[in-house]
Amino acid sequence: MIGHRTRTRTVVLEKTTPAATVDAHGDGPQIADTARVTAGASVTGHGRVGGQAVAVGKVTVTDDARLTDHAILAGTATLRGRATISGRATAIEKASLDGDAWVFGRAAIAGNASIGGHAQVFGDAQVDGGAVIGGHAWMHGNAHITGEAWVHGRSQIGGRALICGTAVIAGALRIGGDAVIGDGADIASAADFETHRLSWGETVTLYRCDNGTVGIGRSATDHGPITGRSTAMLNTVTSRRVAELAEIWATLAVVEPE
């Protein structure tokens, strides 16, 4: 199973040249006549800004990155590596894209969120807070990844799923519908979470935590390892399932070295 993980962010420092310095021979940065690069935006390396894209503010487009179509890069966001933002997607505030990441459709990246590897974010998906998306993960539909959540591997998050708090999602699995997975979650397979509809209509998600306990997700503000109060608010059938999962997942708990 999954042991301790360390989340890291790579910060690349380099001397930049003004966005207005464009290599007409194609060996340096290129900015289309129809694009807007303004208010201190920096396009360096082999960065490209094309279509009717907008780069505004103290943003950076560098390496072989692409900003095209009607995409917007604003705030102090950075676009590096071979990352691409296209369609009507946006990356604002302190968001960063690197590697071969691709954000398109109407997807929105904000806060301190980081997209890297070969990850794709599209549709109307949102990634914000301090969330990290990597590997070959896909975010789509109306999915929302926020908090300090980490999604990687070949995970596919869609529907109206909410991944938040300190959740870690890995492996080749799909999460969709109205799933809410938050604090403490350590999800590596489809067997690590279940969605239940309670008799009064509320939908809750039961998920495996990193210490083998059971977590519950109800909303963006109500998620984490189950407590006595949490079980008191469940129906009999779901409470019984919580007990069963607790026994199953406890045997799979990862014992970390001291």
Give the burial string for 35-47 (b: 16+ CB within 10 Å, else e). bebeeebbbbbbb
Where along the chain do its domains lie?
89-250
pLDDT given at position 251: 80
pLDDT given at position 88: 98
In CATH terms, the fold of domain 89-250 is UDP N-Acetylglucosamine Acyltransferase; domain 1 (2.160.10)
Collect all residues with Cβ–Cβ distance below 8 Å to 51 and sequence separation of at least 6: 32, 34, 35, 68, 69, 70, 71, 86
pTM of the model: 0.87
Side-by-side strand order, sheet with 108-109 = 36-38, 54-56, 72-73, 90-91, 108-109, 126-127, 144-145, 162-163, 180-181
pLDDT given at position 199: 79
Per residue of the chain (258 residues), give pLDDT as tens. 444 444 433 333 233 334 444 454 567 999 999 999 999 999 999 999 999 999 999 999 999 999 999 999 999 999 999 999 999 999 999 999 999 999 999 999 999 999 999 999 999 999 999 999 999 999 999 999 999 999 999 999 999 999 999 999 998 999 999 999 999 999 999 999 999 998 788 899 999 999 899 999 999 999 999 987 666 678 888 999 999 999 999 886 644 444
pLDDT given at position 253: 60
pLDDT given at position 203: 93
Show contacts of 91-97: CB within 8 Å, 24+ apart: 95/127, 95/128, 96/9, 97/65
